[in-house]
Amino acid sequence: MKASDRAYASLRDDIVEWRLAPGTVLGEVEQAERLGVSRTPLREALARLTAEGLATAQRGRGVVVSDVSLAHLGELFELREALECKAASLAAQRGDRARFAALRDRLLAAPALLTDEDPQRNEYYALAAELDSAVDGAIANTYLSQSLEGLRVHLARVRRLAKDDAARLRQAAAEHAAIAGAIAEGNAPLAAAATAVHLNNSLNHIKSVQIHLPRPEDSTGPAVRTAPTHSTRPSAPREASHG
């Protein structure tokens, strides 16, 4: 893996997992030292994060971790609805019905995965990621798949705010099963409708969680923070879009 790719992956995981909070200044010298790379690949990594919207360049501050606000959350789910409902509809028309039927059955059994033995919900999120992967493969649309991939990293970041609530995840598993079932039946309108229901429930849940978000009018973000200079080891990414 190239140094710039390694720096990008580490910084992205730190941002998604909230080890680097909104407003944190990503100083080139400090981050290059922390990640064990030179400043040139570090700049490349910061440019990629900025292009994805995970970081932003601000005058007088340099590159900082971007905000997450309620206004941004609404915009994110508007885009999510447009992309995911269309993807589910196409998957119902083009996908392997047997594969989605098997996923439906596994998703119906998914609540059994939500145990104290897996507090990070890794098994559950791995199954949700399989549904994403199956949809991506079924739609046979490179542009739509790339757009969904770019969206999921933001969704993973937002999901951390809402915590890994077991009750909500059990409900979400049933919603995922409904989506997979509609695709397995080849019912495009039902697949899109089931996706819309899931997205509405996900958004309402996130809004209901008592979390602190920057105010939408705070375009400059929270107070300046300095990123940690000690070494951090990112955890395995969980970027399934379904929450």
Two tokens, residue 18: 């909230």
As averages over each run of 10 residues, the pLDDT of the chain (243 residues) reads 93 91 93 95 95 91 87 88 98 98 96 80 89 96 93 82 78 96 98 97 82 44 42 43 56
CA angle 128/129/131 to nearest 5° reads 65
Q: With contact defined as beta carbons under 8 Å apart, do 48 and 142 qualify?
A: no
Residues 65, 69: Cα–Cα separation, whole Å: 13
Two tokens, residue 147: 């757009």
| Helices vs strands, H then E, count in the chain | 9, 4
Burial of 79 (0-12, 13-18, 19+ CB in 10 A): middle
> What per-residue confidence (pLDDT) applies to 1?
82
